Structure 1
Amino acid sequence: MAGKMIEGPDGRYIVGTVKIGEKGQIVIPKDARDLLDLQPGDTLLVLVDRKQGIALVDNERFRNFANGVLAAQESAQEEG
């Protein structure tokens, strides 16, 4: 990717574009890998929305988020 990473609102960034290879593979730009400390062998969750597109999410971060949501829901049920 040529150019600089552009910081947007709320901790979001534009890091560039990627091309899909013949086998459907993409390369995540180095700036994005560095920003999220992604390493070879890390697992990413692929989220797809027909209207908004594709998102790649660090599986561990998503797992922590989901566990927090479930814990909050359990806590609310115990209180109610």
Structure 2
Amino acid sequence: MISMNLKNLRMRHQLTQEEVAERINVSRQVIAKWEKGESTPDIQYCVQLASLYHVTLDDLVNFKDDVSELGIPPKGKHFFGVATLGERGQIVISKKAREVFELSAGDKLIIVGDDERGIALVPEKMMSAFFNLVKTTLDKGNEHDDSH
């Protein structure tokens, strides 16, 4: 798996084997062997490669793309599959998505959208935490303004 992931990530980032080799201080031949599966990078190189490609170490090593064919998602990004909209507008959120975002029955989701970027579901608890952070920041800014 890691050999395919290394090659796919390098190509997605439009880098040559030589460029990757220079960035992590190995030879181009070493990169070629890793991508062919003839050898495997040591953990120190895996960490550098995960950082270079902005993916998690776990995804770099273990990611297997059975369904989406989108490749390894960037660190902190997820692809949970496809949901079908029911006749009454209902959708089912995948188990993995519910686990990652700690969602359970009864949780509220805020629906936001943009004509060009699409639609998103945001857990209400995350949105509330964001608005509280903004309010606190604004309140602190106003305290400084009032003191002058």
The TM-score bracket by the shorter chain reads 0.7 to 0.9
Greater percentage in helix = 2
Tell me whether 1:36 sits opposite 2:107 in the alignment.
Answer: no
- Structure 2 stretches lacking a partner, 5+ long: 1-65
Structure-2 change in CA distance of 1:7 and 1:57 (3 Å): farther
Displacement after TM superposition at 1:19 (Å): 1.0
Structure-2 change in CA distance of 1:10 and 1:78 (3 Å): farther
Match of 1:52 in 2: 117
Greater percentage in strand = 1
Q: Aligned partners of 2:94 and 2:72: how far apart in 1?
A: 15
* Rg (Cα) greater in structure: 2
1:1-80 to structure 2, matched below 5 A, reads 3=67, 8-80=73-145
Displacement after TM superposition at 1:37 (Å): 1.2
1:38 alignment partner AA: L
Q: Aligned partners of 2:77 and 2:93: how far apart in 1?
A: 16
**Structure 1 runs of 4+ with >4 Å offset:** none
SS of corresponding position for 1:46: strand
Q: Aligned partners of 2:123 and 2:142: how far apart in 1?
A: 29
Structure-2 change in CA distance of 1:13 and 1:7 (3 Å): farther
Q: Aligned partners of 1:24 and 1:77: how far apart in 2?
A: 43
How high is the TM-score relative to the length of structure 1?
Answer: 0.84
RMSD, aligned α-carbons: 1.9
Q: Aligned partners of 2:87 and 2:72: how far apart in 1?
A: 31
In percent, how many aligned pairs have the same letter?
35
Displacement after TM superposition at 1:9 (Å): 2.2
Q: Aligned partners of 1:7 and 1:33: how far apart in 2?
A: 20
Q: Aligned partners of 1:41 and 1:23: how far apart in 2?
A: 18
Number of aligned residue pairs: 78
Q: Aligned partners of 2:104 and 2:78: how far apart in 1?
A: 19
SS of corresponding position for 1:76: helix
Q: Which is further off, 7-16 or 45-54?
A: 7-16
